[in-house]
Amino acid sequence: MLTALVLLPAAAAVLLLCLPRSTPRTAFRVVWVAVSAAVLALALAVWAGYRDAGGIQYETHARWIPSAGIGYHIGVDGLSLPLLALTAVLFLACSVHALRGTHRVREFAALFLFLETTCLGLFAALDLILFFVFFDLSIVAMYFIIAGWGHKGAGRAALYFFLYTFLGSLALLLGFIGLYLAAEPHTFDMVALTAQNPLAGRSAYGALVLLALGIGLAVKTPTVPFHTWLPPAHTEAPAEGSAILAGVLLKMGTYGFLRIALPMLPEAWRSYALVFVVVGVVSVLHGALVALAQTEFKRMIAYTSVNHMGYIVLAIGAAAAAGGSTGDARRLAVTGATYQMVSHGLLTGALFLLAGVLYERGRTYDMGAYSGVAATAPVFAALTGVAAFASLGLPGFSGFIAEFQILTGSLGPRPVATGLAVLGILLTAALFLRALQRIFLGPLRLPEAPGTARPFADIRAHEGVAIVPLLALAVVLGLAPRFVLDVIEPASRDVLELLAR
Amino acid sequence: MSAPLWALITVPLATGTVLVIAGRRADRAAPAAGVAAAALALGLALLAAFRQPSVSAALLADLPFGLAADGLSGVLAVTVAAVTVAVLLFGVGDIGPGEARARFFGLMLLFSGAMLVTVTATTLPALLMSWEVMGATSWTLIAYRWQDTVRVAAAGTAFLTTRAADLGLYLAAGAAVAGGRTEALGDLDRLSGPWLHLATAGVVVAALGKSAQLPFSFWLSKAMQGPGPVSALLHSATMVVAGAYLLIRLGPLLAAAGWGADAVAWTGAGTALALGLVAAAQRDLKQLLAASSCAQIGFMVLAAGVGSTVGGTLQLIAHAAAKSLAFLVAGYWLTWLGTKSLPELRGAARRRPAAGIAFTVAALGLAGVAPLSLWAAKDVLLAAALERSTGLYAVGLAAAALSAVYSAKALWYVWQPRPDRPSRPDLPPYARRTVPRLPASLTLPFAALSLATVALSALVLPPVREALARTLGVTGTMPNAWEFALSAVLAPAAGAVAWAWGARRVPLPTPVIRWVSGWLGLERAAHAVCVRPVQRLATALAAFDDRVLDRGVEGLARGTVRLAGVMNRHAEAAVDGAVQGVAAVSRGLGRLARRPQTGQLHTYLAQAVAACTVLAVVLVLVR
């Protein structure tokens, strides 16, 4: 079942490429949306069959390259299940949002479906090499999406993105090899490595492996100072590409921390947790402050991702703090970190799709070029307003549930760092209010660039169908979080138990 | 049993959400739906106040979402719901059919629903959620007329200021989790060590911010940019009183921390005095009322600090009625006369005496004139202050006199004879307008709130007051007769002086007057201390990102390319040269080796002789 879920989109991508070029575009679009919907249905079926008790379920273990200790090992638990569902939801939203696209539809659809396989595969992978393969393939697919369908400076930005994150993945591979060599017998199997805790008592070796893993995952997350690939990649990428890049691909970094670094290197993590706490806080504040200084809407959202992902790094850093009475608090922090991945995926996905709408109408992301857009596009303004308020952590949306858990959970173990990170909430409020104020409120003024003769149209049906469910889901997760928390909480308890070894 | 409580919060929140989502399509139905939902909520609030239910739902691990109506929150819920009904009724007339009525009524219901959750919340998540939603909806309400950039900017200031203070609640929640006291708000005072102090500080900051106490007061001045009904609701029974309510509710926490009670009491008293001065210095009616809100809420905060639950609650209810009434009349004048400037409002009360009388009732109430309820409320809470410290009592008494001064000032303007000679060019705008008769949607709330302001005087009577104390489940200090008498004389006396003084200039240096009438320069200070440094830091960090980090990575890439070039040019040449050299040497050796191959026998013989000779010599030498 899980294998079908993972491989279905790639199979569909191959099918699309086999269809003759002369096939009407509509057929490609229909296949794309239908396959994405089928993947979501499969993901929901997996969720429906998942038992809340925790542990790895839907496990598949096949021989692949046994001589090197590599196997095709996949499964889901409380950490990966919400992310699998998020991936399916976001890819469906993007396929709907791209319904009006005209530029090489067949290749675009095929690339997205292939990318979906790499994302699903990564979250399901229980073998380090499998994880690494999907990790790298996602970079490749995203490179082509940015370079092929991006804006003016896309080629350069795509190359920058590719080289930077690829370099990160090499560091990751080094770390994986370090783990492999330390294990006895040598293996890349995550379950075996987690159970073995191969670097127990070897602090220098553990520190080096953690350094390699940390750099690799920090580049992907991204945290300060490895975040500079993010703004150009987002600014130049097409809207759907940005939504997936920020919504799903960034989660690979933080997911890697929770799946690999914490359980397999508990000693090293505990010794160097403070580094991650500091990196997290700096990311929170630096991301928010730099976002505050941006004049381009999309670049600003890109920087808020640095801020939001910083909370996750802070939480998993704080989770390692010692102390008897803070056990519940740390579980709250880890649960909040996982919740934040889902929440940020939905909200930032919606925001990037909305930024795409803005660009499609006005041909610029420059906030200064717009004013009073709410007059001609009230629904667009309302949706962006809702997404912005949700993203600044307003209660009633998923972001609050996530950030509240992270902040309250981290305060006990790391009071000073968390006290500083709380300021991030105020800064994001300021920057989103300012953006709303500049673009949507005040007297009407639209950019006068070539190609903007058309009036600023309000949200079209396919855009609404793509964006509204994301925001609706954010509300559901904000008001009734239990059905997701029941899945995550056992997993975060397991992570903390592994970390305490 | 729990149904009324869930319904109490669901009815306004759900109706509000539906109205906002429906947008302009629901404009026609919005007023009726809005008022009906508010009325239903009032009924449910009354039911909840009598039945006192409590509910809880799982939200986060160990952090449930809990609501309850007890004595205090029941009384508060009824007050909130009642004022909402009156204000929404007024909104039917004030927000005309051409405007986005669904958005207005929907947001007002959301706002008031959030306040209902705030007052009934028993757990931290419930409190924080409603607390923040209230702040965000206040932004949307103040910026209701969003085409006007001034109003939008004012809304931003209000939201950001209150949210800055809200961070305190996040810290308090974190302290509760860290200290293991997450089940209920009432458990906070059982925290220990630093967590107790952090929780107290967080709650106090959040409450002072929401209640626009010093030094956060300036946001309330900005909030005046909202439509009349918004000001009326925001300033009377919701939002600004939420902070005072929270402090009254968490009195045990303040006491447990030791320093909390004193800090809160003095901040409240200081705000009552300072913002009373600010109010007296205003020449704009809405600004005067806004400053007076800060000052009057200062008394509630003072009450929370000195542990006078009865006094604080009395003050809160009485102020809610009087202040919402005053704002509704001010909003009416603003809409129909087009001005809120006091000099231009000369004679406004005489043009429509019904509105004038309503305003007078409200102003007398705010002035603390006996026997209206604010008079007794202040005495009850000041009696508790006197027990704590004489200084506190004196400051409170001075602030009470000030409230009479600014109320008399407002009354003096609106009851002046109308300026005649309507042909003058500098004629107030209203003089040219024809003022229509008061529609029922206005007279009804005016009458109801006037009646409430007067009727609440019953709370002054000792049996009623004791009944209230029993409902709240507290026993407090009751003032002596001389205290009642003193304030009963003081308020009219101060008011009379202000009335006699009229519009003459106060003999103070101009900078001082400008400082006081400009809300003590608080906003400018906030900009200088917080906003501008943060903006500068943001710009600097963005430049750092672009010029240092990004350039650094690019430099690394460029360096790699350059290294490749160097390798290409030099290292490659060297390696290739070595290979070529080996080839050349081999070729040379080969050429040399070809030399002896002459094909002539005698050369070969000579070579053999030479070789043998060499061999023989070597043999001999080696041996």
| DSSP letter assigned to residue B57 | E
Residue pair A141/A115 in contact by the 8 Å Cβ criterion = yes
CB proximity A382 to B under 8 Å: yes
Which residues of chain B are modeled with pLDDT < 50?
421-425, 427, 430-432
Locate tokens 């990170």: which residue? A421
pLDDT tens per residue, range B507-565: 888 888 888 888 888 888 888 888 899 999 999 999 998 888 888 888 888 999 999 99
CA B246 to chain centre: 14
CA distance B177 to A270: 22
CA distance A276 to A317: 5
> What is the average pLDDT value for chain A, to the nearest integer?
91
Across the interface, whether the CB atoms of A289 and B534 are under 8 A apart is answered yes
- Smallest CA–CA distance from A413 into chain B, residue: B178
Determine, yes or no, domain membership for B260.
yes
Across the interface, whether the CB atoms of B61 and A331 are under 8 A apart is answered yes
Instruction: Write out the two tokens for B482.
Output: 């001389």
Q: What is the ipTM of this complex?
A: 0.92
Across the interface, whether the CB atoms of B534 and A418 are under 8 A apart is answered no
Domain encompassing residue B181: 3-419+439-517
Higher pLDDT, A423 or B96: A423
Q: Which chain A residues are within 8 Å of B62, Cβ to Cβ?
A: 328, 332
Determine, yes or no, domain membership for B562.
no
Locate tokens 């757990």: which residue? B123
Contacts of B346 (CB under 8 A, 6+ apart): B413, B414, B416, B417, B418, B419, B428
Burial of A480 (0-12, 13-18, 19+ CB in 10 A): middle
CB proximity A472 to B under 8 Å: no
What backbone phi and psi angles, to 5 degrees, belong to A54?
A: 105, -175
In Å, how far is B304's CA from the nearest CA of chain A? 27
CB proximity A324 to B under 8 Å: no
Q: Which chain A residues are within 8 Å of B161, Cβ to Cβ?
A: none
Model pTM greater than 0.80? yes
Determine, yes or no, domain membership for B405.
yes
Instruction: Write out the two tokens for A351.
Output: 């925001």
Examine the pLDDT at A464 and tell me if it is beyond 70.
yes
Nearest 5 degrees, angle CA B55-CA B57-CA B58?
Answer: 150
Q: Which chain A residues are within 8 Å of B139, Cβ to Cβ?
A: 433
| DSSP letter assigned to residue B473 | T
Q: What are the helix and strand counts (H, E) for chain B?
A: 28, 2
Q: Which chain B residues are within 8 Å of A219, Cβ to Cβ?
A: none
Domain encompassing residue A90: 2-499
Residue pair A226/A166 in contact by the 8 Å Cβ criterion = no
CB proximity A368 to B under 8 Å: no
Across the interface, whether the CB atoms of B163 and A425 are under 8 A apart is answered yes
CA distance A206 to B34: 63
At B478 the three-state DSSP class reads: coil
For residue A23, is it left (φ>0), alpha (ψ between -120 and 50) or beta?
Answer: beta
CB proximity A340 to B under 8 Å: no
- Smallest CA–CA distance from B125 into chain A, residue: A404
Determine, yes or no, domain membership for B557.
no
Residue in B132, B140, B161, B225 to test binding to A, most A beta-carbons within 10 Å: B132
For residue A189, is it left (φ>0), alpha (ψ between -120 and 50) or beta?
Answer: beta
CA distance B203 to B197: 10
Across the interface, whether the CB atoms of A400 and B167 are under 8 A apart is answered no
Contacts of B337 (CB under 8 A, 6+ apart): B344, B345, B348, B351, B428, B429, B430, B433, B435
Instruction: Write out the two tokens for B372.
Output: 């209206």
pLDDT tens per residue, range A69-113: 899 999 999 999 999 999 999 999 999 999 887 788 889 999 999
At B267 the three-state DSSP class reads: helix
Per-residue model confidence (pLDDT) at position B568: 86
Of B163, B198, B542, the CB nearest to A294: B542
Number of domains forming the structure of chain A: 1
Determine, yes or no, domain membership for B560.
no
Query: For residue B309, how many C-alpha atoms fall within 13 Å in the half-sphere facing its CB?
Result: 22
Examine the pLDDT at A177 and tell me if it is beyond 90.
yes
Residue in B161, B170, B546 to test binding to A, most A beta-carbons within 10 Å: B170
At B64 the three-state DSSP class reads: strand
Residue pair A195/A266 in contact by the 8 Å Cβ criterion = no
CB proximity A327 to B under 8 Å: no
Residue in A219, A228, A397 to test binding to B, most B beta-carbons within 10 Å: A228
CA distance A444 to A394: 28
In Å, how far is A412's CA from the nearest CA of chain B? 4
Residue in B19, B25, B60, B219 to test binding to A, most A beta-carbons within 10 Å: B60
Question: DSSP string of A424-488?
Answer: HHHHHHHHHHHHHHHHHSSS-B----TT--S------HHHHHHHHHHHHHHHHHHH-THHHHHHH
Q: Which chain A residues are within 8 Å of B175, Cβ to Cβ?
A: 411
Number of domains forming the structure of chain B: 1
At A53 the three-state DSSP class reads: coil
Examine the pLDDT at A233 and tell me if it is beyond 50.
yes
Across the interface, whether the CB atoms of B152 and A442 are under 8 A apart is answered yes
Across the interface, whether the CB atoms of B178 and A412 are under 8 A apart is answered yes
Across the interface, whether the CB atoms of B160 and A164 are under 8 A apart is answered no
- Give strand pairing partners of A189: A127
Residue in A285, A286, A290 to test binding to B, most B beta-carbons within 10 Å: A290
For residue B239, is it left (φ>0), alpha (ψ between -120 and 50) or beta?
Answer: left
At A63 the three-state DSSP class reads: strand
Residue pair B308/B476 in contact by the 8 Å Cβ criterion = yes
Determine, yes or no, domain membership for B328.
yes
